[in-house]
């Protein structure tokens, strides 16, 4: 079962507009209601992730826990956000460890973080230095530059698919800074590139499944260094 995220976003915008309109013309405290319940948006996002990809629960449960903790913090003065969010995270990751496929990272970015984006989010770039970001959305980028030098990729509550298989480096080395917070980044590189990943995930996963040697067993001639900062997210590099 797939739910169109554009319909959900459109419906939320209409609800917000109608609410603010009524707040102006009638004695209706929509602003106060919004300040208390705005975090339910995270619950909705998490529920949609679970509905669209029920085989992977971890990412959706994290979003639901985040929204629930924020709402509880707003409703009950004696409850503090971190006091309930961290225990919920421990429970969720415990469930994730029990249910996950051992051959895959606990947070599967392909199944959790906006892999099902629409085709119009895909772009082709010839930039030598790239800057790709996704915020509550998905982005697909194919890089075909013949003088690729590197750049920056970030995903915050979203997902990025970066295809470098058609790119060529300007020299023997290039570097990428990757940040994934409650989101995921998938990078595909040519088989003749050697990939070095620097960084450790925090409640997330980093997977480098590229060839250790070039085709034919020869040493790689070009090296891509990825400096990764992954928090409650995932990074996957493949050929």
Assigned token pair, 53: 């990809």
| Residue 43 near residue 51 (C-beta atoms within 8 A) | no
Assigned token pair, 7: 């319909």
Q: Which helix (H) or strand (E) holds 130?
A: strand 129-135
Contacts of 90 (CB under 8 A, 6+ apart): none
Assigned token pair, 114: 């906006």
Query: What pLDDT sits at residue 165?
Result: 93
Query: What pLDDT sits at residue 118?
Result: 40
DSSP summary character for residue 157: S
Supply the pTM of this predicted model.
0.59
pLDDT-above-90 percentage for the chain = 24
Neighbours of 69 (CB within 10 A): 23
Domain ranges for the chain = 5-100, 110-238
| Residue 186 near residue 142 (C-beta atoms within 8 A) | no
Q: Rounded distance, CA 101 to CA 61, Å?
A: 17
Query: What pLDDT sits at residue 163?
Result: 94
- What are the backbone dihedrals phi and psi of residue 106, each rounded to the nearest 5 degrees, phi first? -60, -35
Q: In this model, does residue 148 exceed pLDDT 90?
A: yes
């Amino acid at each position: 079962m797939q739910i169109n995220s554009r319909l959900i976003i459109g419906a939320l915008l209409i609800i917000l507009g109608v609410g603010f309109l009524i707040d102006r013309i009638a004695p209706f405290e929509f602003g106060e209601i919004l300040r208390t319940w705005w975090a339910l948006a995270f619950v909705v996002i998490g529920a949609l992730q679970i509905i669209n990809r029920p085989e992977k629960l971890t990412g959706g449960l994290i979003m639901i826990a985040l929204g629930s903790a924020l709402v509880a913090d707003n409703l009950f003065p004696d409850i503090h956000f971190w006091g309930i969010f961290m225990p919920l995270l421990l429970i969720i990751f415990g469930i994730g460890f029990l249910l996950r496929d051992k051959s895959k990272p606990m947070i599967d970015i392909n199944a959790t973080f906006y892999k099902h984006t629409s085709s119009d989010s895909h772009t082709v770039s010839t930039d030598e230095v790239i800057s790709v970001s996704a915020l509550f959305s998905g982005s697909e980028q194919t890089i075909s530059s013949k003088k690729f030098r590197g750049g920056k990729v970030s995903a915050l509550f979203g997902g990025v698919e970066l295809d470098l298989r058609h790119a060529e480096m300007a020299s023997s080395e290039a570097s990428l800074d990757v940040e994934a917070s409650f989101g995921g980044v998938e990078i595909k590189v040519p088989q003749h590139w050697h990939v070095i990943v620097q960084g450790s995930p925090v409640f997330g996963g980093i997977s480098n499944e590229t060839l250790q040697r070039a085709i034919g067993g020869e040493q790689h001639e070009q090296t891509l260094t990825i400096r990764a900062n992954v928090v409650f997210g995932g990074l996957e590099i493949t050929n």
